[in-house]
Amino acid sequence: MRAENYEARNHPPSNEFEINFGPNHPGIEGNYALKVKVHGDEIVAARADGGYLHRGFEKLMEQRLWIQNIALVPRICVPDPAPMEVAYSMAVEQLCGLEVPQRAQWLRVLLLELSRLAAHLFTFGGHAATTGMYTPMFWGVADRDLLLDLFEELTGGRVYSIYNIPGGVRRDIPDDFLTRLSDTLDYIDSRLPDYDNLLFTNQVFVRRARDAGPVSQAQALDWGVTGPNLRATGLAFDVRRDDPYLVYDELEFDIPTEQPGDAWARTLVRRGELLQSIRILRQVIDRLPDIGGPIRAPIPNPLAWNVPAGEAYVRIESSKGELSWYVVSDGGDKPYRVHIRGPSSMHAVQVLEHLVTGCRIEDVAQIMFSLDACPPEVDR
């Protein structure tokens, strides 16, 4: 700063001031910002400041072929990319009236639940780190890496799998993949007592997380909260069960719910979902070898593929909440209009603003991570 540019000013009383929480901040999840006004260390007002990750997906998709968009859509939500491509593929299938072979549907469930496991492990790690406990973060990331190895084996990509295409999936499982998957699930199962000791029943964590950012059930329904955050308020709503897609109606799983709706309850719901995902994956391991048939329905030449005019609305349950896609085709080779209703845009903007107001500044990061919002999906 040049000396001649500096001008002393009368600042407002310094007991109350506004600070930037993010975008470049170790406590914020991704490239996202909160502008908060603090009084002492209590937050009196907050405003979410997104847009740092805006890429204009909905516009970009209008300029690319239906098949090219497959490579684009997983980038919308980085920690949990699989639901995006599944939802987009399902929307295109709905427009074309394509019947997806049974085996492809089971493989999609496999991918979705693996992705959910990986996303939840990552969230536990992040949430623990915001309360000052770094060991669960190291463990969560390391265990997630085992799942990423499975992704790599199955799809060729560690994070962005690009495994689904409209009509089915790109390739079948490798030899002995299910055995390795089963071993990995056993390992993660065996790690849970350690996680319980370290995180879920650890008083350091419990006392911090309990009563942090409470949401009542009525508020949650008003604000459009979905997914684990809604189930933490006691409402057992899960798109997988209430509006089944793929083969979820053939699978047995419970919907974990918790009562108070605070950060602690949200974490416990995710822990329950981790177990349910493992349970679903075990059923997939049992059933998949008996399901034969193709993995892909025949589609026309993808480079000159005119999808029939119409509109499709698809909703599925991602690890963050209810994810919906609205796709309109005018009969051309590119989408006419695409809209994505991501769960995080509700969680990270309106809900977060409400929840951090009145809490203390050290709980902001924790509340954000407990909502499991995904900034790239907020901004799109």
Partner 1 sequence: MTDTEQFPVRVEQPDRNGGNIFSRVFDELTAFCRSRSLFILHYCTGCGAIELPPAMTSRFDMERLGISPMVSPRQADILLITGYVSVKTLKRVMLTYEQMGSPKYVIGICSCTVNGGMYWQSYATAKKLNDYMPVDLYIAGCMPRPEAVITGLRQLMDKIAAGEANGWEDYYRRYDYYLGHQQRLFGETWQTPTDVIAEARHYGLFGPETLGDHTRLLEQHQAPLEALEMQLGLGAPDEVKA
**Crossing angle between the packed helical segments 263-287 and 364-371, to the nearest 10 degrees:** 30
Q: Which of residues 52-91 bind partner 1 (CB under 8 A)?
A: 52-56, 59-60, 63, 71-72, 75, 78-79
CB 181, CB 150: distance < 8 Å: yes
Q: What are phi and psi of 223, to 5 degrees?
A: -85, 0
Q: Does 37 bind partner 1 (CB under 8 A)?
A: yes
At its nearest, how many Å lie between partner 1 and the CB of residue 248?
27
Identify the helix (H) or strand (E) that includes residue 116: helix 102-130
Q: Which of residues 98-127 bind partner 1 (CB under 8 A)?
A: 122, 125
The yes or no reply on residue 219 touching partner 1 (CB under 8 A) is no
Two tokens at 166?
Answer: 């409209």
Query: 187 CB contacts (<8 Å, ≥6 apart)?
Result: 143, 146
Question: Which stretches does DSSP call E strand in the chain?
Answer: 16-21, 33-39, 42-49, 164-165, 168-169, 310-317, 322-329, 337-341
- Closer to partner 1 at the Cβ: 31 or 219? 31
268 vs 373, beta carbon nearer partner 1 = 373
Nearer Cβ to partner 1 (51/358): 51
Q: Assess 39 for contact with partner 1 (CB under 8 A).
A: yes
Question: Please, which residue, 15 or 203, has the CB nearer to partner 1?
Answer: 15
Strand ranges (E), 123-175: 164-165, 168-169
Give the burial string for 299-324 (b: 16+ CB within 10 Å, else e): beeeeebebeeeebebbbbbbbbbbb
Q: Which is nearer to partner 1, 265 or 374 (CB)?
A: 374
Q: Which residue's CB is nearer to partner 1, number 180 or number 282?
A: 180
State the minimum distance, in angstroms, from the CB of residue 133 to partner 1: 14
Tell me if 16 contacts partner 1 by CB under 8 A.
yes
Q: Taking CB under 8 A as the criterion, which residues in 135-174 touch partner 1?
A: 137-138, 141-142, 144-145, 148, 158-160
CB closer to partner 1, 159 vs 288: 159
User: Whole-number minimum distance, CB 89 to partner 1, in Å?
Assistant: 18
Which residues make Cβ contacts (< 8 Å) with residue 146, sequence separation at least 6? 184, 187, 188
CB nearer to partner 1: pick between 295 and 356: 356
Structural contact between residues 22 and 3, judged by C-beta atoms closer than 8 angstroms: no
Binding of partner 1 at residue 47 (CB under 8 A)?
yes
Residue 144 φ/ψ region, left for φ over 0, alpha for ψ in the -120 to 50 degree band, beta for the rest:
alpha
- The least CB distance from residue 151 to partner 1, in Å, is 12
22: left (phi over 0), alpha (psi -120 to 50) or beta: left
The residue with tokens 């909440």 is: 321
Binding site for partner 1 (CB under 8 A): 1-2, 4-7, 9, 11-13, 15-18, 20, 23-26, 30-31, 35, 37, 39, 44-45, 47, 51-56, 59-60, 63, 71-72, 75, 78-79, 122, 125, 137-138, 141-142, 144-145, 148, 158-160, 376, 379
